[in-house]
Amino acid sequence: MADLIRIGTRESELATWQAKNVAGKLEALGFETELIFVKSEGDIDLTTPLTEMGGKGVFTKALDDALLDNQIDLAVHSYKDLPTDNPLPLVVSAVCKREDPRDSLVAPDGIDFLNDETVQAVIATSSNRRRAQWLHRYPNHEITNIRGNVNTRLRKVKEKEWHGAIFAAAGLIRINLDHHISDYLDWMIPAPAQGAMAVMVREDDDKMIDITSNLNHAETNLCTGIERELLNEMEAGCSAPVGAHAWLNDSGDTLYLKAAALKTDGSLSYDIELSAPAKSAGGLGRKAAQELLSQGADKLVEEMKK
């Protein structure tokens, strides 16, 4: 009988899709799998804004605990939800191929209001990064908080008298809800590692590390690693108004990185674009972070910590 691999996941449709996707890959390698559902703090408390819950670990701690207690063999995460500092004896053993990393706007009544500067539109998001970038571009708009899984947020934006809500395109694409997308926000710099899934295991579980390493997508691992390196160097958590996107050119020999750190109210933005040969791109995230900090973003980071 093949080994049974217990996969920990949150209960939302998107989290379940991600876990089933990993399960399918493992089953193709000849392993049996079982999904173990775990509730996170972020799933239980659906009213407190994420920024007030501390951001770090809100969606991941319960799965970390299940791994450490040997209730599961691996956990599947949206990589952007994982803190860049991990003091626990857990390791990301694979980063799966990235879906579309962009943010998107769901606007039930269309996007014509974006072209009318007199409209004081109401846009929903619980992300400081999205809030800051939206207000930087549309300073006369109002941002309102929105919580819940993808389906809940889609329902809310339809029911409320909001002009739109911002979603990660990847989440909508994965569960076949991308027909709700009114506009892809190409101008908005995504969260570090947005659109990528991470497989986490115990660091002393050599067998599971070996098995899951087959799921790793080298290009995604490289690019998300650079983005998370920037976030870590800035000492900014995953709820901070910092965006970073790294990608390879078509020939795969050059890596490009675009990043921004903003004041939460959108009144100030520090931006940077760098590139490096893909083979020697390690450290580019740290370099970009240091340049942003020297521009003045260090004051924003201090503001975030208060």
The catalytic site residues sit at 81
Using the structure block, give the residue that is written with the tokens 């201090």.
302
End-to-end CA distance of the chain: 54
Could you give the CA distance from residue 45 to residue 50 in angstroms, rounded to a whole number?
Answer: 9
| H or E segment and range at residue 202 | strand 197-202
In the chain, DSSP finds a helix count (H) and a strand count (E) of 10, 13
Task: With both helix axes pointing from N to C terminus, report the angle between 284-292 and 218-233 in degrees, rounded to the nearest 10.
Answer: 30
**Cα–Cα distances in angstroms (integers) from residue 145 to residues 81, 177, 242, in the given order:** 18, 21, 18
Query: In this structure, are residues 165 and 157 in contact, taking their beta carbons and an 8 Å threshold?
Result: yes
State the Rg of the chain over Cα: 19
Pure H helices in the chain: 13-28, 41-44, 61-68, 128-137, 150-159, 169-174, 206-212, 218-233, 284-292, 298-305
- Helix-strand-coil split of the chain, %, nearest 5: 40, 25, 40
